[in-house]
Amino acid sequence: MEHLLDIDGVSKRFVKQTTLGERIARALGAGGAPEIVRAVTDVSLTVSRGEVVGLVGESGCGKSTLGRMVAGIYTPSNGRIRFEGAPVAVSRGRRVEKLTTRVQMIHQDPFASLNPRVRVADTVAEGPVAHKLVSQKDADAYVADMLERVGFDAASRRRFPHQFSGGQRQRIAIARALAMKPDLLVLDEPVASLDVSIQAQVLNLFQDLRRDLDLTAIFVSHDLGVVRHVSDRVAIMYLGRIVETAPTRTLYAAPAHPYTKALFESVPKIGAGRGVFRPIAGEIPSPLAPPQGCHFHPRCPSAGPRCGREAPVLKSIGPGQSAACHLHDGGVA
């Protein structure tokens, strides 16, 4: 199978910006070590053409950071992200320069991701026109076509973002991304800030577009139900690492990693009565100081002595299914 996207051993660290005073203090031997957030640690993942991969985890697990690296907003601290064999973005000093227009992103909050002072038509048109995907002359018709795809009529083109609801704005953001003729879409919690009734509408639109345009996508979400609905394959992240990846059907039928199981059990189910769902014990540790060994072991019901010493690697445990757990590596944790 042809890989459209290769994520190979990618890590991302954020170093807290130091003030001049702190730098002087450190030069004089005081002040301690700089604070480093390890958002993503040694993640490898491939996405094939035409596939939708769901990226699931609790907030703060690094899934959005990984999505932003794929979309070329950040560059990895270590490892490589290759889109059709070439990097998506490079660092130039502090700035990141994106090298391709064929990976586009849709942000979580449609109230923040659209410039409030730019009309809808200009929002959609400026990217394709700047990159000469369409001539200035044909831009109007092109924009009308894009907006029609996401369900707007011609009258909406002259309006400003504040004249639209959250779901409508998210559809405009989708039109803006589609107008760049992307091969890969990164959707960062695209429905998390929308009402449930509007969520379905946006998800159905995504499904329709996927069928019509043969889209490849990374769908970042914390919502297991949403991910099940849209993804072919799911990767579960915990504290910067991928702990399990499997085809959607397999994962929902037989989750292998203790974290995945715990995640499923913590979802409230209709009809299960009160108090049946079990939250995962403990708090998610700080990515400033992740635990030694397996990141999940302090909260894991099946943790053994090995888990605190040695980080498990992703191992194939079935057709298309991999998990990073010592339980699947000889059976003893």
Partner 1 sequence: MTAAAAPSRRARLADVWYDYRQSPVAVIALAIVVILLVAASLAPLISPQNPYDQATLDLFDARLEPGSVGGGGYVHLLGTDGMGRDLFSAILYGLRVSFTVGVAAGAVALALGATVGLVAAYYGGRIEALIMRTIDLQLSMPAILLALVLVAVLGQGMIQLIVALVAAQYAYFARTTHGAASAERRKDYIEAALSTPLPARRVLFKHLLPNALPPLIVVATVQVASAISLEATLSFLGLGLPMTQPSLGSLISNGFQYLLSGRYWISIYPGLVLMVLVVSINLVGDQVRHVLNPRRGR
Residues that bind partner 1 (CB under 8 A): 71-73, 93-98, 101, 104-105, 107-109, 112-118, 126-127, 130, 156, 158-160, 163-165, 168, 173, 176, 180
Q: Which is nearer to partner 1, 120 or 300 (CB)?
A: 120
How far is it, in rounded angstroms, from Cα 1 to Cα 307? 34
How far is it, in rounded angstroms, from Cα 260 to Cα 243? 8
Residue whose tokens read 């979400």: 221
**Please, what is the minimum distance in Å from the beta carbon of residue 238 to partner 1?**
26
Q: Which is nearer to partner 1, 17 or 274 (CB)?
A: 17
Q: Which is nearer to partner 1, 120 or 215 (CB)?
A: 120
Residue whose tokens read 């943790």: 303
The token duo for 181 is 């003729």
How far is it, in rounded angstroms, from Cα 52 to Cα 311? 28
How far is it, in rounded angstroms, from Cα 189 to Cα 60? 13
Query: Of 185, 160, 4, nearest to 106 (Cα)?
Result: 185
With H, G, I as helix, E, B as strand and everything else as coil, classify residue 21.
helix
Helix 166-178 vs helix 120-130: crossing angle, to nearest 10: 20
Q: Which is nearer to partner 1, 116 or 282 (CB)?
A: 116
Beta-bridge mates of residue 86: 83
Q: Which is nearer to partner 1, 146 or 251 (CB)?
A: 146
Query: Of 214, 240, 257, 319, nearest to 79 (Cα)?
Result: 240
Q: Which is nearer to partner 1, 220 or 243 (CB)?
A: 220
Helices (H) and strands (E) in the chain, counts: 9, 14
**Please, what is the minimum distance in Å from the beta carbon of residue 284 to partner 1?**
24
**Please, what is the minimum distance in Å from the beta carbon of residue 158 to partner 1?**
8
**Please, what is the minimum distance in Å from the beta carbon of residue 261 to partner 1?**
34
**Please, what is the minimum distance in Å from the beta carbon of residue 7 to partner 1?**
17
Q: Which is nearer to partner 1, 203 or 284 (CB)?
A: 203
- 60 contacts: CB under 8 Å, gap ≥ 6: 239, 284, 287
The token duo for 113 is 């991701």
Q: Which is nearer to partner 1, 26 or 98 (CB)?
A: 98
Q: Where are the beta strands (DSSP E) in 30-88?
A: 36-48, 52-56, 78-83, 86-87
